[in-house]
Structure 1
Amino acid sequence: TRQLTVHSAEPASRDDLLRVHTVDYLDRLKAMSDAGGGQAGYDAPFGAGSYEIACLSAGLAKQAVADVWTGRYQNAYSLSRPPGHHCLSDKGFGFCLLANIPVAIEAARAEHGLQRVAVVDWDVHHGNGTEAIFYDRSDVLTISLHQDKLFPQNSGDFADRGQGDGLGYNLNIPLLPGGGEVSYAYALERLVLPALRAFQPQLIIIANGLDAAGFDPLGRMQLHVDAYRQMTKTMMAVADELCDGKLVVVHEGGYSESYVPFCGLAIVEALTDCRTAVEDPFSVSIIGAQPSERFNALQRELIDEMAAAL
């Protein structure tokens, strides 16, 4: 189309993966994949050939980051599958086999000189893997907005701010279950945007989980198509302000087969400054389910408390 260039990418190489993952994990994952599949880690089942598919998923993220950082494109959407934000350096986790975003960041650092990157994760589940990989580093700011105490249940606390050189470079924003567009918009305004402005990234990556939308079977948040559209525009604006518009969106979770496509389309429409004729057939239901002002007032109060503590 005139607004969108669509292409694939080479799979991530073993050298790409070894910048993030251990030799032992990669060898085990490949052997299990060749033997018909298995469990890469907690809640991370996979079948035959999944190693190669995961390498392609990471390769898509790598290419998207490289193309935006080097100026080939202003922004990009990496339609990666399987997802990556739960994956640890030495094991899979939560449907994730390889850490797509860290692999992409480290490749761009090694091959193209990228230095300071911010990752904003709005998947409904805490981005524990991305957090863990960069937890002691100051060159990657990791931010996760997620439903409080959902998955993993023992991670994602606001108090977890990084360690060593990375202290202050991790920001968790746990949100009350049932929150919708007001919760996310206020969290972006009060917490995410100030953190990005303080960090001054050269490039921003969104870990785009669409499981914070209404109807998702694995979450209890209430985002809708226009909420995702506006959140994307907010991130585009701050990218314009801080890093010449360099913004990459990498696909993560989303389990409502009927609703995820509409939310994903809205994000791509925002990135390309284009509106298609496709309308959200579920908007009345989800907008009608947005929480009350009493709920929103409580969520704003909790967000204000987090902002005051930074």
Structure 2
Amino acid sequence: MIHKTSWIWDKRFLRHDTGKIQYMFEGGEVVEPCEEFENKHRMTVIKEMIEKSGLAKHLVRQSPYEATEEDLLRIHTKSHIQRVQTECKAGTREIGPEAYASSETEHIARLSAGAVMKAVDTVMKDGEIRKVYAQIRPPGHHASSDQAMGFCFYNNVAVGAAYAIEHYGLERVVILDWDVHHGNGTQDIFYERDDVLVISIHEENYFPLESGQVHEVGQGKGEGYNVNIPVPSMTGDEGYQYVFESIIAPFISQFEPELIIISAGQDANALDPISRLMVTREGFKYMANKMRKLAETHCEGRLIVAQEGGYNLAYLPIATMGVIEGLTGIDVNWKDPHVLPKRKTPTTLFQAVDDVMNYQKRFWKFAEKKSFC
């Protein structure tokens, strides 16, 4: 049976306002303000890409609902929720490190978290729809149980995973985070749990600097269920493929999940202003396609892709097109106008993969290494 794919979207996501960046120098000189990287235009270009590429006709359109306080309390503290509510209501701009808000942000953040819950409902209850792309903002993977951070207020994928476990009785959920930044909030939330396998592939020595190292493998019951894969700049499509085949696919296969959720930040793309990982549309297509096949093998096709980062307005929709192509198995007949040179995988990537294997070999078996040199 070929399962349908859902697209969750709501124009209310555009109402979250992160304000403008302003640079001031000594003497009072100011550079013309510009919009923050995480702004509403990210959503409009993705939406237009989906519609005008023809992908929309292959997707089942759905609307999200807001997560309730009970839903948020599965992973967030009451004091955190109250702080976000109070400070957004007061119009406070920065309510955590690089977490910029407006008066409507708290409700939109609930909607973003609720969209992942809606995705869980869909893949668990609908016999025909087993794959979902949730086009949401604000993102969530930097939000810990009691801290807003890095454009994130509530941790959308964590809310969804906790909901799936409690409401549907699931025992094994995978969260794969391929955003260019480490999903520190998701790691913190599930660090001592063995029912959620958290895997993060991210650029090394990058935001947030205090987390995302290979030795962070989980604690207590959660030991071995947290996998960090920091990769070097210029890793590129073939480097990502090497990581997926060497580490991510065999780990997921051994875990045998009942549901897979992806924190899908397309900010590892080759033209993104705040990354250097050089992944193209084809790379994102490969990753989504690989995850689709793993979901079909291990969890009856149940796969949720939740939007996180991605900030180049010219290439973000193209990278996301690749994700949706891989998710649906449908190729768009369109030639990318960006001519990106093919780059050799840096040799430091292979050492990075070996480092992960050395820390994780107590917990997981590895596939035979493949050469992409």
Q: Which residue is equivalent to 2:283?
A: 227
Instruction: Report how many residues are paired.
Output: 304
CA contact (8 A) 2:287 2:326 kept: no
Counterpart residue identity of residue 53, structure 1: I
Q: Which residue is equivalent to 1:255?
A: 311
Q: Say yes or no: does 1:23 pair with 2:78.
A: yes
Unaligned runs of 5+ in 1: none
- TM-score normalised by L of structure 1: 0.94
Unaligned runs of 5+ in 2: 1-55, 362-373
Q: CA deviation at 1:18?
A: 1.0
Q: Which residue is equivalent to 1:212?
A: 268
Q: Say yes or no: does 1:190 pair with 2:242.
A: no
Q: Say yes or no: does 1:35 pair with 2:90.
A: yes
> Percent identity of the aligned residues?
37
Q: Which residue is equivalent to 1:158?
A: 214
Do the aligned partners of residues 106 and 302 (structure 1) sit closer, same or farther apart at CA in structure 2, a change above 3 Å counting? closer
CA contact (8 A) 2:143 2:185 kept: yes
- Paired with 1:257 and 1:11, the residues of 2 have a C-alpha distance of 27
Residues 1-310 of structure 1 mapped to structure 2, 5 A cutoff? 2-72=57-127, 73-282=129-338, 284-285=339-340, 288=341, 290-292=342-344, 295=346, 297-309=347-359, 310=361
Between 1:60-69 and 1:168-177, the stretch displaced more is: 60-69
SS in 2 for 1:24: helix
- Paired with 1:308 and 1:115, the residues of 2 have a C-alpha distance of 27
Between 1:195-204 and 1:168-177, the stretch displaced more is: 195-204
CA contact (8 A) 2:289 2:329 kept: no
Counterpart residue identity of residue 356, structure 2: M
Do the aligned partners of residues 208 and 159 (structure 1) sit closer, same or farther apart at CA in structure 2, a change above 3 Å counting? same
Largest Rg, 1 or 2: 2
Q: CA deviation at 1:66?
A: 2.0
Between 1:32-41 and 1:114-123, the stretch displaced more is: 32-41
RMSD over aligned CA atoms reads 1.4
CA contact (8 A) 1:70 1:112 kept: no
Q: CA deviation at 1:215?
A: 1.2
Q: CA deviation at 1:2?
A: 4.6
- Paired with 1:4 and 1:273, the residues of 2 have a C-alpha distance of 12
- Paired with 2:348 and 2:69, the residues of 1 have a C-alpha distance of 47
SS in 2 for 1:93: coil
SS in 2 for 1:228: helix
SS in 2 for 1:67: helix
- TM-score normalised by L of structure 2: 0.79
Between 1:300-309 and 1:238-247, the stretch displaced more is: 300-309
